[in-house]
Amino acid sequence: MTAVFAGLLATVLIGAFGLHGFEDASEASRGRRAPTAWIVACAAVIALAFFAELQSIAAAARTQVPFPPYFARLPIVPLDDRGPYFGHAPIAPTLARCTLVQTVALGAIAYLTRGAKLSRAAAFAVAAASALMLALAFATPAATSFDMYAYAGSAHVAAPYHPAAVPFGGDLAVINDIYGVPISPSPYGPVMLALVKLAAGPLPTLALQLFALRALGLLALLAALGALRSLRFPAAALALVALNPGLILQYVLDAHNDIVAIALALWAVALLPRSRAAAVALAILAGGVKLPFLIVGALAFAALPSTRARLQSAAATLAGGVALYAILGGGAFLGALATTSRLYRAALLDPLTNALHAAVAVAAVTVVALALARRTFVPTGAWSFAALGATFFAWYVPWGLPYAALERRWFAPFLVAYPALSFVFSTTYAASPAQAIPLAAVIALGPVAAYVALRGISLTRTPAPVPPAA
């Protein structure tokens, strides 16, 4: 029920923010300064709620039931999500309350800064609170996912798509306790595998390698902020990224690699006015992190005025990505992807879940096609991109961030809603995929229907102009 409540809250907030017109600031509000005291207070509240959230996660990680003996050897102890409702599940209501506070405070910042500028004091408060949240996430010896251990393991095998049945030695042996011998094949692209080897491979201990992966996530999040700044998003909009607890939890605390692909896709958008070739290269690299980002990366070219240029650039991205995988992955990658997909067999065998997942995935592909073919954007379409993965995960939801950045008008609601959605789709506290995917369909498609019904506007015919990179 907690997950359902948070999901309904997120849906209401998404619809309310969009219908209220967060995409358009009134002329009277343009140029004014946002109230500094309120911005400082909201930033402090978000940081405090995030601190409470991390403390709860860390305490639960140490006391979860069951607690396998090898957990004591983990430098960063994840909450075990491989079975339903382990001993950490009772903290879900606490995290839901933290999420509620964070969402309301982010919404207040979005409302107070609509069409306004931040004072230096407010900007400093946002930066300080963000730095504190990033430091806390980086240093906390707990996580809500095992994924960083999989990344570290793939950095130490010769063939990550078909790892040999040879156990690790030293402190890396604990990875075999998690994933067995051989470890699971990696479903990630060759670009991500190269980055992981570069970041973690040379370091002497597993602990250092895990924190290096967190550092990679932190740097990628900052790179995404840099791309948005280059796209001339105001400081008020950047604050919703810098202070976003969902983004920091998923991409720094848990070190999910999606943020690397998101940052590359955003920079493809930012650099397009300077060099279409560079944008194509970055979009291909984004797809080389995770295969679905070939579709997300192709969105960068929706800003081009010529239909022919848009379609040619998108085709070049897809062709380049296919070539990259064929040369560096080949059949071994396809086998690894099939192995990973089978892990979600239970969800995929449920007819309703499978149908809803397919419906939202079709919606995602459709909004990409509309953006490229007609420069037409669908309000709230950014929420559909999570369906491009094997199932709905919390860290997949921001896959729609490049679309939200291009559409621009619904950028703020997308970010305000994310902490709640991050909680709803958490594999640690929330429902099984069979329960979460129907909720995802409501969240992704419900606001679109509300927007169309209540405002009579189904599509954005002309996307907001993308200014030259600064």
Establish whether the linkage from the previous residue to 447 is cis, with ω within 30° of 0. no
DSSP annotation of 79: P
Residue 232: DSSP 8-state: T
Residue 28 confidence (pLDDT) above 60 = no
Q: Where are the beta strands (DSSP E) in 135-204?
A: 142-143
Q: What is the DSSP letter of 21?
A: T
Is pLDDT at 22 greater than 60 in this prediction? no
**Lowest-pLDDT choice from 21-25, 66-70, 451-455:** 21-25
CB 258 within 8 A of CB 251: yes
Residues 273-299 have pLDDT tens digits of 999 999 999 999 999 999 999 999 999
Q: How far apart are CA 415 and CA 10, in angstroms?
A: 11
pLDDT for the residue numbered 23? 46
| Average of per-residue pLDDT across 330-334 | 90
The Cα-based distances of 240 to 177, 199, 412, 418 in angstroms read 39, 28, 7, 10
Mapping DSSP to helix (H, G, I), strand (E, B) and coil, where does residue 202 land? coil
d(CA 225, CA 251): 13
Q: How confident is the model at residue 67 (pLDDT cuts 50, 70, 90)?
A: confident
Burial of 363 (0-12, 13-18, 19+ CB in 10 A): buried
| Dihedral angle over CA of 76, 209, 144, 417, nearest 10 | 140
Question: How far is the C-alpha of 435 from the C-alpha of 443, rounded, in Å?
Answer: 13
For the chain, the average pLDDT equals 84
- Three-state DSSP at 86 gives coil
Query: Which run of H or E residues covers position 159?
Result: none
Number of Cβ within a 10 Å radius of residue 21: 12
Work out the end-to-end distance of the chain between its first and last CA atoms, rounded to an integer number of angstroms: 46
Q: Which residue has the tokens 């679109």?
A: 448
Instruction: Give the residue from 237, 241, 245, 243 showing the smallest Cα distance to 34.
Output: 237
Please name the residue ranges forming H helices in 30-83.
Answer: 36-63
More confident: 308 or 437:
308
Burial bucket for residue 370 (CB in 10 Å: 0-12, 13-18, 19+):
middle
SS3 134: helix
The tens digit of pLDDT for each residue in 205-232 reads 999 999 999 999 999 999 999 999 999 9
CA dihedral sign of residues 242, 130, 389, 432: negative
Q: What is the pLDDT of residue 380?
A: 76
Compare 6 and 104 and report the one with higher pLDDT. 104
pLDDT tens, 175-197? 999 999 999 899 999 999 999 99
Q: Which two tokens stand for residue 316?
A: 């070049």
Q: Can you give the pLDDT at residue 341?
A: 77
Instruction: List phi, psi (to 5°) of 105.
Output: -65, -40
Tell me the C-alpha distance between 149 and 145, whole Å.
9
Closest CA to 141 of 70, 90, 78, 89: 78
Q: Is the pLDDT of residue 468 over 50?
A: no
